[in-house]
Structure 1
Amino acid sequence: MYLGRIVSIGSNENGVYASYRVSSRSFPNRKSIVNANKVAIVPTEGSEEDIYKNIYISYNCIDIIDDICVITNGSHTDIIAGKIREGMNMRDALALSLLAMDYEKDEYHTPRIAGVINTKGEGFIGIITDSGIEVKKVNPNESYYISVYEQTTPMEVEYPVKDAHQAAEYIYDQGVFKEFTNPVTSCAAFGKSNGWEIDFKNPQE
Structure 2
Amino acid sequence: MYVGRIVVAGRAQGRSFVAYRVSSRSFPNRRAEVHDKSITVMPLDPADLARNPYISYNCIRVADDVAVVTNGTHTDMITERIEDGQSPGDAMALSLLAYGHERDELDTPRIAGAVRGNRAWLGIARKDELRVQQFRLDEDQALMVATYEKTNFEDVSMSAWDVAGIARKAYDLSFERPVCAAAALACSAEPNGGFILAAYNPD
TM-score by length of 1: 0.93
Counterpart of 1:111 in structure 2: which amino acid? P
Q: Which residue of 2 aligns with 1:125?
A: 122
Local SS of the residue matching 1:92:
helix
In structure 2, how many angstroms separate the alpha carbons of the residues matched to 1:3 and 1:121? Answer: 27
Q: Aligned match of 1:100 in 98, 122, 126? A: 98
How much has 1:14 moved relative to structure 2? Answer: 3.5
Q: Structure 2: 5+ residue runs without aligned partners?
A: none
CA displacement, residues 19-75 of structure 1 (integer Å, 9 cap, x when unaligned): 00000010000000111110000011xx11000000100001111000100100000
Q: Which residue of 1 aligns with 2:42?
A: 42
How much has 1:195 moved relative to structure 2? Answer: 2.4
How much has 1:109 moved relative to structure 2? Answer: 0.3
The answer to whether the aligner puts 1:112 opposite 2:113 as a matched pair is: no
In structure 2, how many angstroms separate the alpha carbons of the residues matched to 1:76 and 1:168? Answer: 21
Counterpart of 1:98 in structure 2: which amino acid? L
The answer to whether the 8 A contact 2:40-2:56 is kept is: yes
RMSD (Å) for aligned C-alpha atoms: 1.0
Deviates further, 23-32 or 11-20: 11-20
The answer to whether the aligner puts 1:181 opposite 2:171 as a matched pair is: no
In structure 2, how many angstroms separate the alpha carbons of the residues matched to 1:43 and 1:111? Answer: 20
Q: Where has structure 1 moved over 2 Å in runs of 4 or more?
A: 192-195
Q: Structure 1: 5+ residue runs without aligned partners?
A: none
| Number of residue pairs matched by the alignment | 197
Q: Aligned match of 1:55 in 48, 53, 58? A: 53
Local SS of the residue matching 2:53:
coil
Local SS of the residue matching 1:41:
strand
The answer to whether the aligner puts 1:159 opposite 2:154 as a matched pair is: no
Q: Aligned match of 2:71 in 55, 70, 73? A: 73
Q: Which residue of 2 aligns with 1:20?
A: 20
TM-score by length of 2: 0.94
